[in-house]
Amino acid sequence: MASIYEEKHVLFCDILGFSQAVLCQEVDPAKFLMTFGHLQAAVKEANRTIDLDQVSQESGVQYDYIVTPRAEHFSDCIVISTPATNVDAIWLCHAAAEIQNMLVRRGFLSRGAICTGLLHHADMSIFGPAFVTAVQREKETSRPRIAVSPETLACFRVAKNAQDAEISSIREQQLLTSDQSGSVWIDPFHHLKFFANSDRPPPHQHITADIAAWSKVLKQGLRSSDHHVFEKYLWMSEQYNAKLAQPGSWIQSIEIPSISMNSGS
């Protein structure tokens, strides 16, 4: 049994409301095939072979690592696994943030968990303690976020030297966020928050498009008559306002309706 498993990081991500949207024929299947195609393209790019003698054109330093993820998608779930290394932990957290934004552009919030442990992930087959734990933690987090386990966070912070430690610290500040309870999760606004302090939109069209997508999805969700759905969008709207809608920012805050308006639902 031990020979089947490998030590892996694994992301389990649930697309919230996707199954119901499929039943109601509210989604364009072709668009989601394109979306999952982009996911597989990212995995393929990460897996491209790097010659160990190759030198980075930017730093002049010889490459000493390669990220080797595997990805699956089925119904309303996305699963990605990588070897349990520091570099792979950072890559997977970044990939999780990109997936959240990719899904918002399709009209959906998502919820998930990244865990580290024993896993078997091969063609048409994925199982193991790490996968079971990721599924359980995805459900326990309840809110529309991707939780990061303590084991994965510890691996994220592993460093061979001071330079690696500095890089890990910078990436943690960019990609992860937490609360007073000690819960850690992916910051889906990692690439947007750096543009929030300006009073004018940036020249980058993809930034304004991503902000518009988040705003549209959250405003729609806050109109839900289902109290449990409303709570999810309320929580994410509060996160959006706190991280992006700074005083004087070009990014407008999401108007939060009174909770009493939904309390009877």
Long-range contacts of 252-255 (CB under 8 A, 24+ apart): 252/215, 254/215, 254/218, 254/219, 254/222
Together in a domain, 99 and 176: yes
Three-state SS for 155-173 is HHCCCCCHHHHHHHHHHHH
- Which amino acid appears at position 242 of this protein? A
What average pLDDT score do residues 51-77 get? Answer: 63
Q: Write the secondary structure of 184-214 as one string of H (helix), E (strand) and C (coil).
A: EEECCCCCCHHHCCCCCCCCCHHHHHHHHHH
Tokens in use for 5? 């498993």
**Domain containing residue 109: CATH number:** 3.30.70.1230
Tell me the per-residue pLDDT of 67-108, one tens digit each, with 9 for 90 and over.
788 888 887 888 999 999 999 999 999 999 999 998 999 899
Q: Are residues 23 and 142 in the same domain?
A: yes
Per the structure, the complete domain to which residue 34 belongs is given by 6-44+65-186
Query: How buried is 61 (Cβ within 10 angstroms: 0-12 exposed, 13-18 middle, 19+ buried)?
Result: exposed
58 domain residue, yes or no = no
**Which pLDDT belongs to residue 261?**
53
| Mean pLDDT, residues 162-175 | 93
Q: Supply the pLDDT for residue 50.
A: 44
Measure the CA–CA gap between 114 and 69, rounded to whole angstroms. Answer: 13
Domain-located, residue 55: no
**Given a cut of 90, is residue 185 above it in pLDDT?**
yes
251 and 142 part of one domain: no
| The token pair that represents 78 in the structure block | 């996305």
Tell me, yes or no, whether 241 lies in a domain.
yes
Which pLDDT band holds residue 1 (cuts at 50, 70, 90)? Answer: low
pLDDT exceeds 90 at position 18: no
Listed residues 123, 154, 186: the one ending a domain: 186
From residue 23, alpha-carbon distances to 26, 46, 144, 203 in Å are: 8, 34, 21, 39
Look at 247 and 185; give whichever has higher pLDDT. 185
User: In total, how many domains does the chain have?
Assistant: 2
- Name the pLDDT band for 259 (thresholds 50, 70, 90): low
Between residues 54 and 28, the one the model is more confident about: 28
Q: Is the pLDDT of residue 207 over 60?
A: yes
Does a structural domain hold residue 221? Answer: yes
> What pLDDT score was predicted for residue 48?
56
What is the tens place of the pLDDT at every residue in 106-125? 899 999 999 999 999 987 78
List 15's β-bridge partners, or say none: 110
- pLDDT, average across residues 133-153: 96
Q: 219 and 174 in one domain?
A: no
For the chain, give the mean pLDDT.
86
Residue listed under structure tokens 């606004």: 189
For residue 6, give the nearest of 100, 118, 112, 114 by alpha carbon: 118
Mark whether 167 and 226 lie in a shared domain: no
b/e code 200-210 from CB counts within 10 Å (16+ = b)? eeeeeeebbeb
The per-residue pLDDT for range 21-49, each reduced to its tens digit, is: 888 888 777 777 776 777 677 666 656 54
Q: What is d(CA 141, CA 152) in angstroms, rounded to the nearest whole number?
A: 16
In a domain, 81, yes or no: yes
Share of the chain above pLDDT 70, in %: 86
Query: Same structural domain for residues 164 and 71?
Result: yes
Q: Are 233 and 218 in contact (CB under 8 A)?
A: yes
Same domain, 159 and 99: yes
What is the per-residue pLDDT for 72? 84
Question: Which pair of tokens denotes residue 7?
Answer: 């030590």
Can you tell me the mean pLDDT for 204-231?
A: 94
Mean pLDDT of 157-165: 92
**pTM summary value:** 0.87
Can you tell me the distance from the alpha carbon of 254 to that of 219, in angstroms, rounded to the nearest whole number?
7
How far is CA 117 from each of CA 65, 152, 225, 230, 244, rounded to the nearest angstrom? 21, 9, 39, 34, 34
**pLDDT at residue 264 greater than cutoff 50:** no
